[in-house]
Amino acid sequence: MALMLVKFDLKKRVKLAQSVWFMYWFAVLAGVLVFSMGLFFKIELRKRSELMDNNESHFLPNLLIFMGLIACGINTFGGKVCYDSLDPTKFAKWKPMLKSFLVFCVVFNALLFVTALLCFLMRIPLQFTLAEGLRNGMKYYKDTDTPGRCYMKRTLDLMQMEFRCCGNDNYRDWFEIQWVSNRYLDFSAKEVKDRIGSNVDGQYLMDGVPFSCCNPSSPRPCIQLQMTNNSAHYSYDHYTEELNVWKRGCRYALLSYYGGMMNTIGALVILVIMLEIAVTVGMQYVNSSLSTLANPEDPESESEGWILEKTVKETFTDIMDKMKAMGKGGKVEEGGEAAVATVS
């Protein structure tokens, strides 16, 4: 018994072909959307590639771009087949390859689902990538004269102002590294000597943050240096005072930004999958309804269409039997080759 059997006459077949043709062009636009989302995501990642610890984060946008191009190709082909199905003579040239095309569509939909799943799961590796990348970026903040690192200060400052964040986990991360270049330090000054001698790494550490951490909405002038020294500022207590620097760490800010973007892309890809499944089912009905004409020479004769020629259980059993037969055939061939080798 066929799965979801439907009877068709000429009028229904024409209406089916026209509807599926129309849906295929919507699917082409959906493929363009997937391609565009991948391209946009790749550009956004490249903007802050210096703050990423590896290039693996570009795998997902590249996959989206690839899947978008494939979607455009197969949906354009499917639309052409549906258009030609209205003319039996034109449809005849596509008929031998339709079964393979439908199998490819099923595989493509499965890969599209994996792509959507990766969009939701990429947040986990991205968290570690950003943590390590930001840590290294902060370490190189002061290296404005070093080739390859001279733009790191600008990148971090722009990021902290754009995302209203400070440091990796929070603003105190800046207290643990030297972010002022030695070029701007007076090593003959007692304060500089004392600060450098106060830690084993010989770094100029201070309880301050770059200007880009300042919150411009604060009514008080920004206190970005000597932040833990109450006596250095009038009417100030860093334990109780509302600090006028951003408190959120940039790792959480970027993770929230990219995570929201990936969740949106993942949801849109799922909608595209639903459309792709609909056009694949429609194409199967077009193919089966034209293959079962009561009188192939009479286009107006009735026919039947289905999603599967047999039930799901029977179809699964047939597939397993074919796979077993292929496995046995491979073993027989290996045995025959071994026997020939022995005789030789």
| pLDDT tens for each residue of 151-168 | 889 999 999 999 999 999
pTM above 0.75, yes or no: yes
| 8 A C-beta contact, residue 140 and residue 152 | yes
6 - beta bridge partners? 305
Number of neighbours of residue 272 by Cβ within 10 angstroms: 23
- Across the range 229-235, mean pLDDT stands at 85
Q: Residues of 91-129 as b/e, b for ≥16 C-beta within 10 angstroms?
A: beebeeebeebbeebeebbeebeebbebbbebeeebeeb
SS3 call for 215: coil
- Alpha-carbon dihedral 269, 270, 273, 277, rounded to 10 degrees: -170
Tokens 């080759």 found at: 337
In this predicted structure, the answer to whether residue 340 has a pLDDT above a threshold of 60 is: no
pLDDT tens-digit map of 265-305:
999 999 999 999 999 999 988 888 888 776 767 777 777 77
Is the sign of the CA dihedral 276, 277, 278, 282 positive or negative? positive
Buried b (16+ CB within 10 A) or exposed e, 24-39: beebbebbebbbebbe
Strand partners for 7: 304
Contacts of 215 (CB under 8 A, 6+ apart): 164, 222, 244, 245, 246
